[in-house]
Structure 1
Amino acid sequence: MSEPIFLVGPMGAGKSTIGKLLAAQLGLPFADSDKVLEDRTGADIPWIFDVEGEAGFRRRESEVLGDLCNGVAQVIATGGGIVLKAENRELLKQGGFIVYLRASLDQLVERTSKNSNRPLLQVADPRAKLAEILEQREAYYAEVADLVCDTDNCTPKQAAQLVADRLAEQSAT
C-alpha cells in the first residue's frame, strides 16, 4: 500500500500493539498519534488532561493528525477519540486507508483493566464508561472505515495477520 494506513477504534482495541506488528509485517514505519503528541509536548496524556482538560487534549490531537496525514506510507495508530471531531474524520478519509479494529465491550474491559494511563477510565465504573464511549463513537468508527477487523479472541499477532491478509485482498481487487 502506498498511502498511510490509519488504525481507529476504542481504547483497548489493540491499535498500538497491532499497529507495530502490522507495520513490521508490511515493512512500513509505525507512528502512534498519542506518542507523537506526548513527544511534542514533553508531557504524558494524563497530565495534559489534568492541565488542559479533554478539549485541550483534543485540539492537540487534531494538530498531530493533520501532520500525520502527509501521504507517507506508514501504519498510524490513532487515539480512540480521534473520530469525535468531524474535521478529523474528513482528514482521515482523505489521508489514507482506514482500518477499524473492533472489539467487544468484554474484551475492551479486560484489555484496559491493567493500564492506569487512560484518563477517561479513571472513574468508579470503567466498564460503564467504556460502554458509554462505544455507544458515542461506534458509528463514527464505522463511518470512516475502509475495512473493519474484529480483534476479539485474537492474539495481537493473529490480529495483525488478519489485517494484513484483508489489506492484501483489498489491494488485489
Structure 2
Amino acid sequence: MVIHPDLAHSPERPTKSIVLVGLMGAGKSSVGRRLAQRLQMPFIDADQEIERAADCSIPEFFERFGEEEFRRGERRVIQRILDGPPVVLATGGGAFMAEDTRAAIAEHAVSVWLKADLDVLFERVSRRQGRPLLANRDPRGVLKKLMDERYPVYALADLEIESRRGPIEITVERACEVLAEYFDGLSDSVLAE
C-alpha cells in the first residue's frame, strides 16, 4: 500500500495513534482497517482486544458482568494500547464517553469522530447481531437516544468526518485529507514557536 501523499511528508506521521470514535455503525472498524493500510500503521479494534482479554464475547461480558464492569475493562485495554507504539485504533461507541479515556486519547493520540446520521446508523446496525445496547424492542429509538447523549461528547474529538452511505473508500480518503491538514497544522505551529 502507498501512504497517502499528503501524509508521506508529514514529520508527525506516525508518532501519534489515530483513534476513531463514534456510535456503533459509524464505520470505525471498517474505516480503521483501510486507513491503517493506507498509512502503513497497525490496526487494532478495541472491542476485539477486550474480547481477547476477557475470553468471551462482548454480549456475554455484558450479560455476566454488566456495562459498568465492561467500561472499566475497556478503559484499561485502551490505555494499554495507547501506551504502546502508534496505531489506528477503533474504539467502542461508549469508550469516548469516559473522561479519563478522553484524557488518555488526548495525551497519546489524535481523535477522529466518524459522524453518521440516524438512518445510516440504523441501516448498518440492522445488518449485524450482537449489539448489547440494541437488544430491545426499539433499536432505532435507542440509537436516537445514544446520539442525543453522545454526539455532544464526540464533538470534543480533534477531528470530525462524515460517514455516509456509499463506498467506504470515500470516507477513508476524506480521513486521509483531514489528517494531513491536521498534521500539517501541528508542524506549522511547532515551527511558529
Same fold by TM-score, threshold 0.5 exceeded? Answer: yes
Secondary structure of the 2:155 match is helix
RMSD after superposition? 1.0
| TM-score normalised by length of structure 1 | 0.96
Amino acid across the alignment from 2:149: Q
Counterpart of 2:129 in structure 1 is 116
CA distance in 2 between counterparts of 1:40 and 1:56 reads 13
CA distance in 2 between counterparts of 1:72 and 1:92 reads 13
The gaps in structure 2 that reach 5 residues or longer are 1-12, 186-193
Q: Does 1:46 align with 2:59?
A: yes
| Identity score, percent | 37
Q: How does 1:23-38 map to 2 (within 5 A)?
A: 23-38=36-51
Q: Does 1:150 align with 2:149?
A: no
- Note the alpha carbon deviations across 1:145-173, whole angstroms, 9 max, x for none: 11100011342221111101111122223
Q: Does 1:159 align with 2:171?
A: yes
Shift of residue 89 of structure 1? 1.4
User: Which stretches of structure 1, 4 residues or longer, exceed 4 Å deviation after superposition?
Assistant: none
- Note the alpha carbon deviations across 1:28-86, whole angstroms, 9 max, x for none: 00001100001111100000000001111111101111101115221000010002221
Does the CA-based 8 Å contact 1:3-1:71 persist in structure 2? no
CA distance in 1 between counterparts of 2:181 and 2:99 reads 29
Q: How does 1:1-173 map to 2 (within 5 A)?
A: 1=13, 2-70=15-83, 72-143=85-156, 145-173=157-185
Does the CA-based 8 Å contact 1:71-1:95 persist in structure 2? no
Amino acid across the alignment from 1:164: C
Larger gyration radius, structure 1 or structure 2: 2
CA distance in 2 between counterparts of 1:65 and 1:170 reads 23
The gaps in structure 1 that reach 5 residues or longer are none
Shift of residue 96 of structure 1? 0.6
Secondary structure of the 1:98 match is strand
Amino acid across the alignment from 1:5: I
CA distance in 2 between counterparts of 1:70 and 1:100 reads 21
| TM-score normalised by length of structure 2 | 0.86
CA distance in 1 between counterparts of 2:97 and 2:181 reads 29
Secondary structure of the 1:135 match is helix
